[in-house]
Amino acid sequence: MEHPLTPTAKSIFCTDFENYKSNVCHLLHNLGDINFLQTILEDDTISQLAKNNLTGYALYLVAMVDYISKENSVPLCTKYDWLRKLKLPELAIPVSIQLYIDICGKDETYQKIYNQAIPEFLKYNILEGDIRNVC
């Protein structure tokens, strides 16, 4: 069976970044922290994404792996150190957050959300605040 985070022609062209992030969070929720880490690292999903020029997707997954590793006192997998030197050229803000900022005012709202973001994601220029809140 194909791993749900392994890129295929269908997933590359039909899944946007927001959906991808949601899929990753749901997979984490369904598998639990340790099984998630094992699955991602054993399948080498991150390298597959990077090889397919899906750098944003790979960076999101590296951030997720780094965050979950830290939360569980698991050493970082050094295999992706080359990728950890990269970051997105612009801050990736979720659509829902961007709408909220647009409605409520940029300065205070943006700063508050930015300050609450998970550092492992901000490192790669990805604004992510809650990976555990899935329906």
Q: Token digits for 33?
A: 């922290």
More confident site: 49 or 94: 49
Kindly report, residue by residue over 115-125, the tens digit of the pLDDT: 999 999 999 99
pLDDT for 32 = 97
Q: Which residue ranges make up each domain of the chain? A: 9-122
- Residue 12, SS3? helix
pLDDT for 52 = 93
- Closest to 47 measured CA to CA, from 59, 64, 35: 59
Report H helices in 81-133: 95-104, 106-116, 119-122
pLDDT for 110 = 76
pLDDT for 16 = 84
